[in-house]
Chain A
Amino acid sequence: MKNRYLKNVATLKLKSDKCTGCGRCIEVCPHQVFVIKEGKSVIVDKDGCMECGACVKNCSFNALDVKPGVGCAYAIIMGWLTGTEPSCDCSDNGSGGCC
């Protein structure tokens, strides 16, 4: 059975006019969010996006945008407690599930 997360939250955006249809985003996306239609990439499963930022980082045409972040409650709690941006820094104290 497929794992699905919350709907209508992902911050992923695609600027179609900048897209050349090179297909890099399809190559790097771990959740098959994109397909190529008529020579351009289109978002077909926005709710599948986990905001990892792989597509943005590898789009040499700057056609993609997302607010990347860690989908980790522990990191967000630590961020709230320490007043910093949530980061995957469990390594400092060795606890928490992520990484």
Chain B
Amino acid sequence: MEITNREMKIIHTSTQLTTHDMLGSWKARWGVDRMNFKVEAGLYSVGKPDKSSPVLVTANYKMSFDSLRKELTELDAWILVLDTKGINVWCAAGKGTFGSKELINRMAIVQLEKVVSHRTLILPQLSAPGVSAHEVLKYSGFKVLYGPVEAKDVKAFIHSGMKATAQMRTVSFSVYDRLVLTPVELVSSFKVSLIIFGILFLLNLIGVGPFGLVDFYAYMGAVIIGCVLTPVLLPWIPGRAFAWKGWLVGLIWAVMVNMFNGWPGAPEYGLLRALGYLMILPSASAFYAMNFTGSSTFTSFSGVLKEMRIGVPAISISIFLGIVLIVVNSFI
């Protein structure tokens, strides 16, 4: 029987990110072609790795790959990129695409056992929801070590003999971490906003709606509060549920809008409309703030479900009543 050797494919990569790489990340942050920001799955090398060099595993979302390789300066290492369909490590692990099966398959495809003589893999800690370390060991003979949460600590992890400090093991969610996630929230809110503007415009056309500039800036303010301000100020806003936090800041905004227009005297646009804003604006902010749960690093499914069971009906009823008040107001 003839045994043919499959060709080994190793792609060399750099630890230096180019302007093009950084522009790509920036575009993804703004939601531009975000679902197609990926690299080819397979085995990569940085520096001059040999049979004893560490193997680091990551996702094929280009932002994940880039944030890993840029931390590997002066290091000789292998990077095993899994096919996670262009999704980051943590989300892919949650879905199972960054999982034991893909890892075992990918190791076989790149013939990792021939590339390195050791039998150890370093995985990002956040891949653990998808990977079962004991199963990978059982089926591939490779031992999985969970490295730090963040790529920036990977060098310290390797240099300390594969030891992660408690801090390296904990997910942070700093003001900056939250801020970089807000553009995509804002961009995805625009679709909903355009539909709303379309409906208001039609109502104006048929003569039912008295909607104008005040409505526009009042609503846009509520969107920015829900998508940007609440996420950024998150831990400082009292309460725990995201919808509640958004509602609270939105309420301040609704009061401000009414004050711009004459409160505490009679507002130019009538009392019912002022009440309508108090019903609608905080609810809109609450809705957008609630959507930020998906971007956060600490909300549980049970928790989000609990807040939505109360939040979604409350938001819907409040917005509906607010619209009724405004429409009634326009007929007085």
How far does the alpha carbon of A32 sit from the alpha carbon of B181 in the complex, in Å? 24
Task: Determine whether the beta carbon of B134 is less than 8 Å from that of A3.
Answer: no
How far does the alpha carbon of A6 sit from the alpha carbon of B307 in the complex, in Å? 8
Task: Determine whether the beta carbon of B294 is less than 8 Å from that of A97.
Answer: yes
Task: Determine whether the beta carbon of B134 is less than 8 Å from that of A76.
Answer: no
Q: With A3-B173, A30-B169 given, is the CB distance from A9 to B294 under 8 Å?
A: no
Our pick among B35, B294, B298 for the contact of A98 (Cβ within 8 Å) is B294
Residues of B within 8 A of A90 (CB): 294
Per the 8 Å Cβ criterion, residues 28-69 of A in contact with B are 28-32, 48-55, 57-58, 60, 67-69
* B305 at interface by CB-CB < 8 Å: yes
Task: Determine whether the beta carbon of A51 is less than 8 Å from that of B132.
Answer: no
Q: Which of B2-10, B88-96, B319-327 contacts A (4 or more CB under 8 A)?
A: B88-96
* Residue interface bits A1-33, CB-to-B below 8 A is 1, else 0: 111111101110000000000001011111110
How far does the alpha carbon of A31 sit from the alpha carbon of B241 in the complex, in Å? 18
How far does the alpha carbon of A71 sit from the alpha carbon of B132 in the complex, in Å? 21
Chain A residues touching B, range: 35 or more
How far does the alpha carbon of A99 sit from the alpha carbon of B305 in the complex, in Å? 18
Task: Determine whether the beta carbon of A9 is less than 8 Å from that of B298.
Answer: no
How far does the alpha carbon of A75 sit from the alpha carbon of B184 in the complex, in Å? 16
Task: Determine whether the beta carbon of B184 is less than 8 Å from that of A97.
Answer: yes
Task: Determine whether the beta carbon of A73 is less than 8 Å from that of B293.
Answer: yes
* B55 at interface by CB-CB < 8 Å: no
Residues of B within 8 A of A68 (CB): 94, 129, 301
Q: A residues engaging B (CB < 8 A)?
A: 1-7, 9-11, 24, 26-32, 48-55, 57-58, 60, 67-77, 86-91, 94-99
21 A-B pairs (CB sep. < 8 Å): A5-B240, A6-B240, A6-B303, A27-B125, A27-B169, A28-B125, A30-B149, A30-B170, A32-B169, A52-B94, A53-B129, A55-B128, A58-B131, A58-B133, A69-B300, A72-B299, A73-B293, A73-B307, A88-B95, A94-B34, A97-B294
